[in-house]
Amino acid sequence: MSQDPVVPSRFTPPAAAPLRLGAIMRIALEMYRAAPGAVLGIALISTVPNLVLSVGGQLAYGTHSGTRAVMQGLLSLLPQLLLGPLSIAATAVIAMQLFAGMPAHAGSALERVGLRFWPLAAVVVVSSVGIVIGGLALLIPGIYLAVVWLFAPIVAVVESLGLRSALARSAALAKGAFWWLLAGYLAIQITVALGALVLTDLVDLTLTSINGDSGIVLRGLATCLAWTVVTPVASLGVSLMYLSRRVSERGSWPAP
């Protein structure tokens, strides 16, 4: 089985110290430039299934408004909810490789995720259900769980912990930094969403005259491309927040 080519690291990690929120986005972009192929390849794990479901649904059932549109939207979000954490965990492995001065290698990152797939899947399902129930019952419990379990998928992979231990470890990493994590996560997600929206709108301007199935496919591809380009920034940002909490424990960047 052939592996992707190893990309030499061109990233110089910062000094081993907790990161400020303002530095996280800057460092994430530096890491992106150092290993674009690796992080983009991992991003495709979540964006391509989203493209297939979204475009496939519109081609099969057409475009609708109201309840049907909401259902199609929720269906297209499933890959992101289930595969997004997998992509983030693999990106965290890439980030740790770069911080250790190693070559960025998507194949080895995905292999690590594959070895830890079932514990990771259990963490994703349980945490997602808990966050959704908390959000439906009262918004604040859902937000709280989303923050304290933010690192659970990463922990399940890079620290080789099971379901209960991964959730508890993530909560321990979040202890004393709840508002920092919430602010950082929201800032990253809003920035990335705005970037994807701008890229999608720019492409849509060139597709206004194309209708029918061709228009649906081309707009779906444009949306997929936009999210594939910006998703690594979000994944690297979450990975950097995890690494920042780790370095606050031991005073050094954790080895891969």
Q: How confident is the model over 198-243, as pLDDT tens digits?
A: 888 787 777 666 666 677 777 778 888 888 999 999 999 999 999 9
Q: How confident is the model over 105-128, as pLDDT tens digits?
A: 899 999 999 999 999 999 999 999
Q: How confident is the model over 22-52, as pLDDT tens digits?
A: 899 999 999 999 999 999 999 998 888 877 7
Joined tokens for residue 191: 């920035």
Cβ–Cβ under 8 Å, residues 154 and 86: no
> What is the predicted pLDDT for the residue at 2?
44
> What is the predicted pLDDT for the residue at 255?
83
pTM: 0.87
Phi and psi based region of residue 133 (left: phi greater than 0; alpha: psi -120 to 50; beta: remaining)? alpha
Alpha helix positions (H), 62-177:
67-99, 106-115, 117-137, 139-148, 152-158, 163-174
